[in-house]
Structure 1
Amino acid sequence: MFRTRWHRITVFTIACALALCACGVQPTDSSENTMASQATAETASYQPVTITNYDFTGKEVQHTYTQVPQRVVAVYQGSIETMIALGLEDHVIASYGLDNEVKPEWQEGFAAMHYQETVFAPDKETITLLQPDMILSWGSLFGDTMLGDVSAWNEKGVATYMNSNTRPGGYPRTLENEYTDILNLGRIFAVEDRAQALVEEMQAEIARTEEAVQGKETVRVAVVEPMGDSISNYGANTLAGDMVTQLGGELANPDGNEMSKEDLLACDPDVIFVVYMAYSGDDPESVMASQKAVITEDPALASLSAVQNDRVYLVMLGDIYAAGPRTIDGIQTLAAGMYPELSK
């Protein structure tokens, strides 16, 4: 489910932006001196870390970090927000690709991320000019015509890390993958305590909910995203599906990526979560209302139990897809809809 916004940017705008943005994010002499001092201090006690990640084909690749990366390029929402959540914004020399506003508690960190508004995702020529020592992004961008090949970057001494739930090849997307990414980045940047705290918060929310619903009737859940004339279904191999299962729910339709209205009626879930995506510049309330109405206002779907019982809820895509530190928000949103009695 690769989502880009190329249609929002004209070719002329891209050409101009790529020519200018590399220069615009170069650190000043003062910031270079600060980064150099910080790197020296961090390297003095740094123990080499070997991390397993992936290339554009989904193949496992290993990279050994001998020092904390100081010139990171972060592309996409989860990449940007993970760096902020771990307190690593001062290691980022350029960032791109926000679909949604950064959460209020991360705004201060975001201000230091050298965010480039004119280009959603840069190409490898732009990245090369930035001289990074690490590129953090999604699997769909690590192609030769985009950010560039993982092996080629690694051979130049530039580390790459893709969110594990965007690994190409149809691999299951799981909560465990999100935990692993956060913990790996904690090891790479020597902030293991911060990373562990984020993961433990997510795990504790799952455990608390599981304990609270023991002995209760299993809730049947569908997580769907209306997309024009079709409905995309988040099944067992998706992060949202794994969240539902780990929270003690049952997926009403665990198979398949797409369903018809007839399919939705046939599985008749107790609860339906409708996925929405409010792009920067859009009116979030309008987007949410119109997306939910596709399910709740369609006469053909009026007989659904979830519609009749007013159990159709919204969930933001960024909270249940390659979510990074927003994983906790996805867990909490799904738990609240599945078990509203727990929040009373």
Structure 2
Amino acid sequence: MKQQWQTQLDRAIALLEAGDIQGGLETLASVRKHQTDDPVLGLQLVNIYHELGHHDAALDILEEMEKDQKEWGNEIQQEMNVYRASLYIDLDRLQEAMDTLLTIKETGTDDYRVYALLGELFLIEGLEEVAIRYFEQAIEMEPNNEEIQYLLGKLYAEQGESERAMEKWQMIEGFEEEAPILHERARLAARQGDFEAALTLYEKLGEDDSDTEALYGAGMTAYQIGDWQRAVRHLARLIEADADYIAAYPLLAEALWKLDMHEQALVIYQRALSLHIEEEKLLHGYLGFCIELGKWKEAEAGIARLRNLDEDDPIYWYWQGRLAEARGETEDALAYYEQALDGGEVVADAQQRYQNLMRH
């Protein structure tokens, strides 16, 4: 006969899965009073709260179980300690996590989770080589764990070891269609300079308009190999899918400019600037285009926006100089460039432009 608490727990899980978070949490709270009587219930509760991101609540349950525990045996004790270490990591209590895991490891455990968590800890500390050794030990114990296989492949790829990365990923069922792996393979190919292979992978991923990272990767890679039309196609799809993906706008504008579609390039910059996101970075490319096309009013408006952002920024004076130089107002341009260089900073090519004007 199913225990009453299990019926309540099943109901709590059903409520949570149905999206009734408040109802699920209230039902869980009513179940918690039974936790010290049954370690199986306690560990189930720890797992549920952990997955919900309620790490403090999960840790509280473990501490209550330990305080009131009966003779539950080594297996339950180790399970509690593994959960405790995982929670410590999530709570950024890394030294406590390390101490807990090393204590378990010293008992000669064959629990792959202990080694996977040690790998995670060393990865957080930036010690990738040590992390990889622990992940390899974990996968020896649990060879069918696809999450660890994927992570190992990712780490090898980041180190440029493409063959070892592929060896891990090929252990994952259907790896040729797995989006995370395709992303990693595309990034690896791009890092190795195989842009055509990277573009093929990104385009496969980019068939789904919701994969904005893939669309950006495809646009960026096409731009890198000088295929401006493909770059425009992918980047235009990207900003239609996500208008706030600000990094796509300058790249799209530059690709349009390369295709001599100058007015369209300006429109893309203007659309991006209307979002008021990362204005200063966008204004540099936009002002360069405006000055190149002799659109003085647009340039003046853009420079005014720079002034509003920070009138003391040398880059503001630099663009004043660029505009004056383009208009043939040499004396004004020299004065503006002097302002830009006044603080001794390297401001774009202000020094070179100033010297060129002085020579002529």
Q: What TM-score do you get using the length of structure 2 for normalisation? A: 0.26
Higher relative contact order (CA 8 A, sep 6+): 1
Greater fraction of residues in helix: 2
Greater fraction of residues in strand: 1
